[in-house]
C-alpha cells in the first residue's frame, strides 16, 4: 500500500493545527489566551492553500478508501473559507 501524502496534506495540516492550538492554549495564561486565534487562523489558511493545490486532480490513497476529486476540493474550500470568516469575526471576542 502506498500513501499519497499530497492527497492527505490538508487533513494532516489541520490535525496538526488542532493539536498545536490545544497545546498553546494549555500553556498560555488565561489573560493571553487570544494568542491561540492567530495560530488557528494560520493553520486554517495553510490548510486552504494545501487544498487549493489539489484543484483539478483526482487522487486516491489507502487502496482507494480516501479519494480527492473536485467535489472534495469544493467542499473543503467552502468549509475552510467559513472557518476563516468565523475566526476573523471572532477576533474581538478572543482578544477580550
pLDDT grade, residue 34 (50/70/90)? confident
Put simply, whether the predicted model's pTM sits higher than 0.85 gets the answer yes
Q: Tell me the residue range of the domain where 72 lies.
A: 5-95
Counting the structural domains of the chain, the total is: 1
How much is the pLDDT for 1? 77
> What are 35-76's pLDDT values in tens digits?
889 999 999 999 999 999 999 999 999 988 999 999 999 999
CA–CA gap between residue 34 and residue 22 (Å, rounded): 12
Residue with cell 474550500: 77
CA geometry: angle at 63 spanning 60 and 69, to 5°? 15
Between these two residues, 31 and 36, which has the higher pLDDT value? 36
Please answer whether residues 6 and 54 qualify as being in contact, where contact means their C-beta atoms are separated by less than 8 angstroms: yes
Q: Identify the H or E element spanning 40.
A: helix 36-52
How much is the pLDDT for 95? 73
Amino acid at each position: 500500500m502506498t500513501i499519497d501524502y499530497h492527497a492527505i496534506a490538508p487533513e494532516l495540516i489541520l490535525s496538526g493545527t488542532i493539536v498545536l492550538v490545544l497545546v498553546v492554549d494549555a500553556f498560555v495564561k488565561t489573560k493571553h489566551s487570544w494568542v491561540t486565534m492567530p495560530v488557528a487562523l494560520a493553520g486554517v489558511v495553510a490548510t486552504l492553500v494545501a487544498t487549493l493545490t489539489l484543484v483539478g486532480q483526482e487522487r486516491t490513497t489507502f487502496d482507494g478508501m480516501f479519494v480527492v476529486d473536485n467535489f472534495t476540493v469544493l467542499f473543503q474550500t467552502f468549509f475552510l473559507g467559513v472557518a476563516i470568516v468565523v475566526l476573523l469575526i471572532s477576533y474581538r471576542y478572543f482578544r477580550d
